[in-house]
Amino acid sequence: MKSKIFSSIIILLIVAILAVLASCGGGGGGGGGAVSFSPDSNMPHNGGDAGGWRTGNQTGGGMGGSNIGDDNTTLLIGQIAALDVENINIVIYVNGERFEINNVTETTTKEVLPEMSVGDVVYGTAYISVAGENDPREAPLDQTTIGFDTSLKFKVPYNYTIAESDLPAPVSGTYFARNGIDMSSYTAGNKVGWKCAYSDGTTTDSYGALVTGVRGDITLTSIKECLWLDADGALHFTDTPGNPLPANLVIPSSVHGKPVKKVAAEAFRNNTTLTSVTIPAGMIIEEMAFKECTNLTSITIGNNATVGIQAFDMCSAVSVITVGNNASLGDFAFGSNGLSGSGLTFNKGSGVIFNGAVLGYSTVTTVDLSNVIFPGNYLPGQLFCHCPNLGVITIPSGINRIGTSCFSGANFVKVYIPKSVKVIESYAFDLAYGEIYYQGTTADWADITIDNVGDGNGLLGNSIPIYYESW
């Protein structure tokens, strides 16, 4: 008789446990749920009736149904596998003694089983004949010692086929439901998981390289998404039909349960979809991750985030940048952007760390540096180079060194330099135009080590005045 039931693929083997309760009288208790063969579950299936222990020294039905002496209808097979099954033959060994149970169907009852007692060692194989297949499938039963709460489980083998357009031919194999299918050789890039299709048209999705939660013969096709993680937890982007990138991107903290540790170098470079990006607290943005995203207008950096070299460089449409507390910004992190006015905002008391020429070639006009931390009290080289529209810039007190080409090619109204500055490096103000207001005296200024001043056309040459003791 053929039977095809799509549900949990379970071969229920009701184990009649013989036990003697020495010197115990009284009535029998309620029977336990059926103890089953289950290929992928660690829990017994509930299906037994109220057999219970019987009185005195009598042998009870125990777990899994009625007393073995009763005329009952407890089935040997509770549920047929999710296959078109024609026949099942079982070979079982009890303490090394072989027993054969042939032509098992869904109506076969447990009376065909050999008796098993607590402490017996049992193993065997179920041979499952499936329609259209020449050879039966072998479902092994791991060696088990019978106890009072034993669940014996045959492992039913199922077939899978990988149907991918990038494979020269379909790939086939077998698997046990409890183990899943290792797809690590085929899961890479934007292939983030697998769609599992059964013969009746139903599907289920499994994410990651190990396909789990499936049972039955299945066909596997990859699930592709535009955002995906590599083995190091770095976020990448791949243009994926049917899974578009949102224009207003919030970097996720996790992808399918796996944490996003950083945004990979050049992950979104040259992307023209993005109009805004929000970076969560603590996130690492590697170098050039968003470089040349020419339609990007707004950037929000979370607390304690790290923004790498040229991460947002040449994002020419950017007009608003908000930076959170203790964020660390690398060389040209926001270079060559479209900032104007006070488009760059640091949270009050933020302690933002500038590790390089964060704003080179920017059109920003107003930058409040009072909340910025400069490692080594060093105003980085090229920090404001070729910024043509700077207004008033106040260098924070405590800065002792102004880096090479820091204001080179910049136009500004005023730059306030504190008395703490002791070194001005080469070309710091080369081809720059504006006014310097120095906190110290002429003598203090004379004590500053000033390297090559440039071609003489800019500040520190003869064109631009310096005002002493002016703040």
Q: Dump pLDDT digits (tens) for 204-224.
A: 999 999 999 998 999 999 999
Q: Locate CATH 3.10.20.90 in the chain.
A: 157-224
Structure confidence at residue 342 (pLDDT): 62
- Distance between CA atoms of residues 328 and 353, nearest Å: 5
Task: Report the 10 Å Cβ neighbour count for 231.
Answer: 7
Which is more confident, 111 or 163?
Answer: 163
Q: Considering only 72-86, 154-168, 186-200, 388-402, which range has the smallest mean pLDDT? A: 72-86
When pLDDT is cut at 50, 70 and 90, the band that residue 128 belongs to is: very high
- Distance between CA atoms of residues 105 and 109, nearest Å: 9
Share of the chain above pLDDT 70, in %: 79
When pLDDT is cut at 50, 70 and 90, the band that residue 55 belongs to is: very low
Residues 187, 173, 206, 208: is their CA dihedral positive or negative? negative
- Distance between CA atoms of residues 277 and 334, nearest Å: 13
Structure confidence at residue 40 (pLDDT): 35
Share of the chain above pLDDT 90, in %: 50
Least Cα distance to 92 among 121, 61, 130 occurs for: 121
Cβ proximity of 263 and 284 under 8 Å: yes
Q: How many angstroms separate the Cα of 329 from the Cα of each of 206, 217, 289, 346? A: 38, 53, 13, 12
Element (H, E) at 444: helix 442-446
- Distance between CA atoms of residues 461 and 53, nearest Å: 105
The arithmetic mean of pLDDT across residues 56-60, rounded, is: 25
Position 448: which residue type? I
Q: Considering only 220-229, 241-250, 363-372, 455-464, which range has the smallest mean pLDDT? A: 455-464
pLDDT, tens digit, for every residue of 234-269?
999 999 999 999 999 999 999 999 999 999 999 999
What is this structure's pTM?
0.73
Mean pLDDT across the chain: 80
Q: Considering only 3-7, 231-235, 379-383, which range has the smallest mean pLDDT? A: 3-7
Structure confidence at residue 270 (pLDDT): 97
Structure confidence at residue 13 (pLDDT): 47
Cβ proximity of 405 and 360 under 8 Å: no
When pLDDT is cut at 50, 70 and 90, the band that residue 70 belongs to is: very low
When pLDDT is cut at 50, 70 and 90, the band that residue 149 belongs to is: confident
- Distance between CA atoms of residues 300 and 331, nearest Å: 18
Structure confidence at residue 204 (pLDDT): 95
Q: Considering only 96-105, 187-196, 362-371, 390-399, which range has the smallest mean pLDDT? A: 362-371
Please give the DSSP secondary-structure letter assigned to residue 377: G
Cβ proximity of 340 and 365 under 8 Å: yes
Residues 353, 357, 362, 366: is their CA dihedral positive or negative? positive
Structure confidence at residue 159 (pLDDT): 96
Q: Is the pLDDT of residue 22 over 80?
A: no
The arithmetic mean of pLDDT across residues 417-438, rounded, is: 91
Cβ proximity of 314 and 338 under 8 Å: no
When pLDDT is cut at 50, 70 and 90, the band that residue 340 belongs to is: low
The arithmetic mean of pLDDT across residues 397-420, rounded, is: 92
Q: Is 22 exposed, middle or buried (0-12, 13-18, 19+ CB in 10 A)?
A: exposed
Structure confidence at residue 78 (pLDDT): 56
DSSP lists the bridge partners of residue 98 as 93
Q: Is the pLDDT of residue 162 over 80?
A: yes
Structure confidence at residue 37 (pLDDT): 35
Residues 335, 341, 344, 348: is their CA dihedral positive or negative? positive
When pLDDT is cut at 50, 70 and 90, the band that residue 284 belongs to is: very high
Cβ proximity of 395 and 415 under 8 Å: yes
- Distance between CA atoms of residues 278 and 288, nearest Å: 16
Element (H, E) at 224: strand 218-224
Q: How many angstroms separate the Cα of 67 from the Cα of each of 99, 101, 292? A: 21, 21, 77
The alpha carbon of residue 62 and the mean position of all alpha carbons in its chain are separated, in whole angstroms, by: 47
Q: Is the pLDDT of residue 308 over 90?
A: yes
Q: Considering only 189-193, 304-308, 348-352, 353-357, which range has the smallest mean pLDDT? A: 348-352
When pLDDT is cut at 50, 70 and 90, the band that residue 351 belongs to is: confident
Could you tell me where the DSSP H helices lie in 109-229? none
Structure confidence at residue 73 (pLDDT): 41
Q: Is 232 exposed, middle or buried (0-12, 13-18, 19+ CB in 10 A)?
A: exposed
Cβ proximity of 130 and 153 under 8 Å: no
* Rounded (10°) CA dihedral 60, 63, 69, 70: 110
Domain at 157-224, CATH from 3.40.50.2300, 3.30.110.60, 3.10.20.90, 3.40.720.10? 3.10.20.90
Task: Show the tokens assigned to 413.
Answer: 């109204």
When pLDDT is cut at 50, 70 and 90, the band that residue 362 belongs to is: confident
Which is more confident, 450 or 399?
Answer: 399
Cα distance from N-terminal residue to C-terminal residue, the chain:
99
Task: Show the tokens assigned to 18.
Answer: 């013989």
Cβ proximity of 64 and 50 under 8 Å: no
β-strand pairing of 258-259 with 254-255: antiparallel
The arithmetic mean of pLDDT across residues 364-387, rounded, is: 86
Give the range with max mean pLDDT: 4-18, 259-273, 347-361, 457-471: 259-273
β-strand pairing of 352-354 with 372-373: parallel
Structure confidence at residue 432 (pLDDT): 84
Structure confidence at residue 465 (pLDDT): 81
Structure confidence at residue 446 (pLDDT): 92
Q: Is the pLDDT of residue 21 over 60?
A: no
β-strand pairing of 157-162 with 218-224: parallel
Element (H, E) at 443: helix 442-446
